[in-house]
Structure 1
Amino acid sequence: MNNVPAHTVRILIVDDHAVVRAGLRALLEGEPGFEVVDETGDGEQAVLLAGMHLPDVVLMDLRLTDGGGTASGAEVGGITATRRITATVPGVNVVVLTSYGNKGDVVRAMAAGARGYVLKAGPPEELFRAVRAAAAGGMGLAPEATAQLLGGATGAGPVLSERELEVIRFLAQGHSNRAIAAALHLAEATVKTHLVRIYRKLGTENRASTVSEAVRRGLLEIGG
């Protein structure tokens, strides 16, 4: 009787790897009190499904690199999808489940409205606790995420916006301002403005040092 939950937690899984989604579904549905209502590998579709199903928790992968194979999906990563869901679908809580536990990702996820942050390499019980905590309106953080937040509480620098991070990713790939502007559908002058702000926030002076500093801070991964 003590294993019977008072409320079934309804979960939407968002991950761009089908095998990972299948494993998560099997894991979650094997836990008493959990029900997986749907799954997707596309950030844009995740926002739509959250509004349609109204799950208690959206389990969100940060790195939706494939975007489900669509141009629109590729633009809606885990942070953007989290921000849109928490802003437009009341009562739906997002728990980030990712392979990355660096400070930049943790801070950006929390700023986007996530109520949990769990690493894929962690034990299942950690995931279960985070999902239950978020569903109840609390916070579910893995020990690694908590350490990052507490460790950066006093010395954390300014948080870069999602657009600024996109610009840095293009910098790392060696793109010119004109190429970045075309890729992001921005005016070239707007890209220059973003660069000025990025340099100021990171305390850098040029493109190469900006990329190096972004990697050092965990804002950018090299080699996937």
Structure 2
Amino acid sequence: MSAPTRVLVCDDQVLIRTGFATIIDAQPDLEVVGECGDGRAAVDLARRLRPDIVVMDVRMPVLDGIEATRLLAGAGVEEPVKVLVVTTFNLDEYVYEALRAGASGFLLKDAPAAQLLTGIRTVAAGAALLAPEVTRQLVGRYAARIRPTESASGDTELTRRELEVLRLIADGQSNGEIAATLVISQETVKTYVSRLLAKLGLRDRVQAVVYAYRNGLVT
């Protein structure tokens, strides 16, 4: 049996923080290793405890969640920690800044508990996740402002099938939905996703969505 995913919960509202921790700790495959109420404490605890993922609020005292995310997961960080931003505020600018700072996921606090748990598992597994409410609208609006990694190139040649998969990712479809749409197995979808991310020099599915919009592959 594999070790549980180690989670650090950071939110300045005690009731929300405790609620998240209780929900997460009740799962046999997840373990809360720490809690804190501001971004600076999150950075310090994450560097000391080395969690697999940090569940991060945005608006907090001392250091906000965006800057804390940048310090933990941003470009140039030697040992980046995966960050799932969970906030009350469905503001486009917050989502954009969170992604630019290095977050691998973004959810709203009014999401069902099952969606929070799925988000944690998804991000911890190395994938990326955006709340369905914000995916296409947000990335379409800010695509021109978010830069893929330096190695990404609009001239990179993808196969027809890889382009199909990329467009479906940009449309917000999961691996299971892509498999059903293209009538192929989920394992095959995973292979295509891994291959196109490697070809384009992209970190995860979020950057793949951004790339698709920026290069006119979807509108």
**TM-score normalised by the shorter chain: which range applies?**
0.5 to 0.7
Aligned to 1:81: 68
Question: How much does 1:158 deviate?
Answer: 8.4
Structure 1: which 5+ runs fail to align?
68-72, 160-224
AA matched with 1:131: I
Counterpart CA distance in 2 for 1:10 and 1:101 is 27
**Is the 1:63–1:78 contact (alpha carbons within 8 Å) kept by the matching residues of 2?**
yes
Shift of 1:91: 4.4
TM-score (norm 1): 0.60
Alignment of 1:86-97 (within 5 A): 86-87=73-74, 88=77, 90-97=79-86
Which digits, 9 at most, give the CA deviation of each residue in 1:75-114, with x for residues without a partner? x111000000114462410000101122111111000000
* 1:89/1:57 CA distance change after superposition, 3 Å: farther
Alignment root-mean-square deviation, CA: 2.0
Count matched residues: 145
Q: Tell me, yes or no, if the aligned pair for 1:43 and 1:78 is still in contact at 8 Å.
A: yes
Task: Tell me which residue corresponds to 1:25.
Answer: 21
Indicate the residue corresponding to 1:44 in structure 2: 40
Q: Which has the larger radius of gyration?
A: 1
1:106 pairs, out of 95, 109, 113, with 95
Identity of aligned residues (%): 39
Kindly indicate whether the alpha-carbon contact (under 8 Å) linking 1:14 and 1:43 is maintained by their aligned counterparts in 2: yes
Q: Which runs of 4+ in 1 moved over 3 A?
A: 156-159
- State the TM-score, normalized to the length of structure 2: 0.61
Task: Find the counterpart in structure 2 of residue 183 from structure 1.
Answer: none
Shift of 1:145: 2.6
Offset, 1:153:
4.9
Paired with 1:147 and 1:126, the residues of 2 have a C-alpha distance of: 18
Question: Shift of residue 55 of structure 1?
Answer: 0.3
